[in-house]
Amino acid sequence: MMAAADLASDLLVMTLNAPLIRKIKALCAEGYRLYDEKNYKEALRFFYKAWTLIPKPQTDNAEAGWVLTAIGDCYFRTGQWEQGRESLASALRCPHMLGNPFIHLRLGQCLHELGKPEVATEHLELAYLNGGSKLFQNEAPKYLMAAMVNVTAEDVLTEEEKL
């Protein structure tokens, strides 16, 4: 059982973090606005500002997962595959991020572009199995083809049953 002082301390930390979380979200919102305008380099600046606000070790915080995903997505859009791979692989180590279809999609794409087809296929397959074919709808066909290398007819039927 948690002592009252420990519980009070945890609640105090959560209260103190609420303004910080709002700052992180505000910076990310501006980053997403710039991303939507295809201004990826400026978007990266806002995502990195958000990243610097996350307490260390950053990957222990759920917020780090979506900030790193946004950073990795920007790097993918600018063709900086290695930086994208690093950011997205780190995002998967954050709470509640493992299995996230979008992270696996972008990580698989970066790995594919880096000439690492085996591990790229693993991530693209996970993206397909967890996110379905809609996730690949606006992506180059080569990524869906790589995702389908090991997918069985049973997997496809399971995905269609989700719809």
Q: Which of 7-16, 33-42, 106-115, 131-140 has the lowest mean pLDDT?
A: 7-16
What CATH number is attached to the domain comprising 46? 1.25.40.10
Give CA–CA dist 100/32, Å, rounded.
Answer: 19
Give domain status of residue 116, yes or no: yes
Sequence letter at residue 94: C
- How many angstroms separate the Cα of 17 from the Cα of each of 60, 63, 98? 14, 11, 24
Q: Report whether 155 contacts 129 (CB < 8 A).
A: yes
Give domain status of residue 87, yes or no: yes
pLDDT of 58 > 50? The answer is yes
- At 13, the pLDDT band (50, 70, 90 cuts) reads very low
Mean pLDDT calculated for residue range 56-63: 91
* Domain coverage including residue 26: 11-162
Give the burial class of 119: count Cβ atoms within 10 A of its Cβ; 0-12 exposed, 13-18 middle, 19 or more buried: middle
Q: Write out pLDDT tens, residues 101-152.
A: 999 999 999 999 999 999 999 999 999 999 999 999 999 999 999 999 987 7
Mean pLDDT calculated for residue range 84-111: 97
- Count structural domains, the chain: 1
Mean pLDDT calculated for residue range 13-28: 78
**How much is the mean pLDDT over the chain?**
87
- How many angstroms separate the Cα of 18 from the Cα of each of 9, 13, 57, 67, 103? 14, 9, 18, 17, 26
Give CA–CA dist 79/99, Å, rounded.
Answer: 24
Give domain status of residue 5, yes or no: no
